[in-house]
Amino acid sequence: MIQMHAFYAFLVVGGLLVLIFIYVAASTRHSREIDFHAAYAVRKKFFFVLLALILVGFGLTLGKMPYPQENQVPDKVVFVVGKQFSFGVSDSPITNDQEYEAATYAAPVELPVGALVEFRVTSFDVNHGFSVYSPNGDLLGQTQAMPGYVNRLRLRFTQPGRYNVFCLELCGMGHHRMRGVFYVK
């Protein structure tokens, strides 16, 4: 899972940084003459290595940015409203408190497997964090639910089952029980 990979990468990079700090601290304990000519040559090499790494990084990751998909038409639009302390998730727009109440009591939305789903997320009171968890409990995506704004989150679900929506923004006393649900079939 990507979270574990990120964690191990963090441990390795963090360990390397600590080793570099120890090396620099140990090697500069006593003052000595500096060969500036050699030092600048190393700096020049370092600069080009860094530049190459950055270009490779851009090359590997730029294609994965979401912007080229901006013109894609989603197969399904789902409307989401956060309000203390629940998420209204609905096929049809939620524009007022009555529609929000109806959405929270209605049967959970069902989404087709493999469809490109666009969540249009807003809030009727304070900021909430809209997050989607897979049936296995993996975090698949998240965006802020903000009053006065509609944030769009696009996801494609390949696994059928029950998906949970949790609030990831501390929004008040009932934050821990703020959730929503939908199914993929």
- Under the binding rule (CB under 5 A), the answer on residue 178 touching Cu ion is yes
- Give the number of residues written for the chain: 185
Residue 91 CB neighbour total at 10 angstroms? 13
Token digits of residue 40: 């600048």
Residue 182 CB neighbour total at 10 angstroms? 21
Cα–Cα distance measured from residue 103 to residue 87, given in angstroms and rounded to the nearest whole number: 8
- Binds Cu ion (CB under 5 A): choice among 74, 175, 179, 183: 175
**Count of residues of this chain found to bind Cu ion when the rule CB under 5 A is applied:** 4
Q: Which is nearer to Cu ion, 84 or 134 (CB)?
A: 84
Cα–Cα distance measured from residue 72 to residue 92, given in angstroms and rounded to the nearest whole number: 20
Q: Which is nearer to Cu ion, 117 or 178 (CB)?
A: 178
Distance in Å, CB of 172 to Cu ion, minimum:
7
Q: Which is nearer to Cu ion, 76 or 175 (CB)?
A: 175
Only segment of 22-30, 133-141, 155-163, 177-185 that touches Cu ion (CB under 5 A): 177-185
Binding map of Cu ion across residues 148-167, x = CB under 5 A, - = no contact: -------------------x
Order of strands, edge to edge, in the sheet holding 139-145? 109-111, 179-184, 161-167, 128-133, 139-145
Q: Applying CB under 5 A, which residues contact Cu ion? A: 167, 171, 175, 178
